[in-house]
Structures are given as structure tokens and as C-alpha cells.
Amino acid sequence: MTELPARRLLLVHAHPDDESINNGATMARYAAEGARVTLVTCTLGERGEVIPPRLAHLTGAALGAHRLGELRAAMGELGVEDFRLLGGAGRYGDSGMMGLADNDDPGCFWQADPDDAARLLAEVIREVRPQVLVTYDPDGGYGHPDHIQAHRVAMRAVELAAADGWEIPKVYWNRVPRSVAEEGFARLLKDLPDLPFGRTATLDDVPGVVDDERITTEIDGTAHTAAKTAAMGAHATQIEVAPGRPYFVLSNELAQPVLTTEYYELVRGERPDGARETDLFAGIGEAS
């Protein structure tokens, strides 16, 4: 058997771009430190809204193929070599926003049997043997059906892999502490006149915002700010990053701050001393 790196991190996301927004600094940091970082993306985001007019012609499968290219470019910026589509490209389609008729498409991820999808993810877990898995909370951060389904599939895959011999020591959900979000938006309001954006989002537009006491772990990725913003910019159909500034917009054209210290809630596993962690692998021995 090929010897595995000492530290192995698996992230499960719904669409290309989610990983760079939520975890780009974390991924870049651990990749630079020599950890094996594996990303599993569940759909190609074929129903995403396209920002640049020059790419507005992209829809459906053509948009999905283009977004796969964006994902490849983003992973190059983050230094991540191992990235995969759950079940292979096109296995699960984008489900669209909650409440739309798209949710009823039998080929979309929302309609997938969670156990079937989890078995595919469990195969990756058994191969990679991650000590840490990162995904969304039960609401998917903000209620998107593909994010909710990614949570369900990831958590079920953890159970299936454990039953088959590989128990992941630590599982985290993506979070943003309320105080950090508030500070970020306060800075944004001051800087808005100098930005190419006209309006700001609100805390309700930021996935995973919770009270500060829910945060168990913070990963300082400020040394990898350039990598994160470049990765976000690589997802050009979905994200516009302010040149040289830590702000971005999605298709709603509402500005948000880019966070390069990223936050998590540990939901499986133990913190070594109960204090807020600064390393996802804290407490994990070299032999794991």
C-alpha cells in the first residue's frame, strides 16, 4: 500500500466555488504544509446564475463543463491536487434554489438517495482515510437543497466508513462567528465608496453565522489570502472579487467581506484541552 501523508483532510461541498469561499484559506494552508487535501464536489452547479455578460450564454451542461474548468483553476491556486466529483462528472445534477421546480428533477442531487450517494463518498473515505472531514451544518449553511443534501451524505458516509473500518477522528461544520461577520461588514461599509460594488449584503446572506460560543476552531489563513482570493476569482461565472481588496459579490451583486481566518464547529471528536483550537488536526496522533 502506498504510504499516506501524516495529515489528511477531506472537504465535501455542493458546487464548484463553495470550497473557495468557505475554506479556501484553510485548504491552501494545509496543502502548503504538506497535508493531503481532498475535495469532493457533489454537483457541477449547472443551474448557477452567471455573472459576466460574456459568459451569459452558458447554461445546463455547458455551464457545468465550464465550472469544472473553473474548479480546476481554483485548485491550482490553492495547491490542491486531489479534487473529485461525487460519482464522477454529471452523476448528480444541480438542484437549483429551494422551492423551485428544479428540485423535482429526478437527476438532481436533491432527489438522490442519500445512502446511495453516501456509499460513493464512503469509497473515497476508505481510500483517502482522512483524519478530518469538513462539510456543512444540517441547514447547509443557508438552506440550499444541494448543501443540505451534501451534509446528509457526508455525515452518513462517515458512519458507513466507520462500519467498514475507517473511523474519521474529527468532523467539522463550516461556521462564521457573528462578531467576525459584524466586524467584516462594518469595514465593508466604510470601504464601499471605493469599491466597484453598489450595495452590501447582510449577515443573513452569509452561510453558517452563529453565536461566537458555538465556534470551536479557527484557522488563521491570512498568509494565504492571495491564494484564496485568486481561487475565488477563478470561479468567474459565480464570483466577482474586488481587485486588490478583500470583498466580493455573487450574482445578487451584494458585497460581502472575504474571510481569511476561517471558522469551524467540531461536531465529532474531542478538543485536546477544551479551548478554541487553531489546528483542525489538534489531538490527532501521527499514527492515525
- Is residue 44 included in any domain, yes or no? yes
DSSP state of 43: -
Q: What is the pLDDT of residue 226?
A: 97
Position 272 scores a pLDDT of: 84
Residue 192 domain-assigned (yes or no): no
Other Cβ atoms within 10 Å of 275 Cβ, number: 9
Distance CA 48, CA 58 (A): 10
66 is in an annotated binding site: no
Range(s) of the domain holding residue 46: 8-176+209-227+260-268
| 240: in domain | no
Residue 255: inside a domain:
no
Structural domain contains residue 232? no
Q: Which CATH number covers residue 83?
A: 3.40.50.10320
The tens digit of pLDDT for each residue in 7-17 reads 999 999 999 99
Q: Ramachandran region of residue 42, left (φ > 0), alpha (ψ -120 to 50) or beta?
A: alpha
Question: What pLDDT digit, counting tens, does each position of 116-163 carry?
Answer: 999 999 999 999 999 999 999 999 999 999 999 999 999 999 999 999
The answer to whether the annotation marks 13 as part of a ligand binding site is no
> What sign does the dihedral 227-129-41-134 (CA atoms) show?
negative
Distance CA 13, CA 221 (A): 19
Closest residue by Cα to residue 142 from 287, 21, 57: 21
Q: Cα angle vertex 123, ends 97, 162, to 5°? A: 100
Does the annotation flag 147 for ligand binding? yes
Q: Grid coordinates standing for 130?
A: 482522512
Number of structural domains found in the chain? 1
pLDDT, one tens digit per residue, over 78-112 is: 999 999 999 999 999 999 999 999 999 999 999 99
CA nearest 56: which of 251, 287, 197? 251
Task: Confirm whether 2 is domain-assigned.
Answer: no
CA distance 268 to 288: 16
- Answer whether 19's CB lies under 8 Å from 41's CB: yes
- pLDDT value at position 126? 97
Written as one letter, the residue type at 255 is A
Q: Is residue 92 part of a domain?
A: yes
Contact 83, 70 (CB under 8 A): no
Phi, psi dihedrals of residue 2, rounded to the nearest 5°: -65, 135
Domain membership flag for residue 106: yes
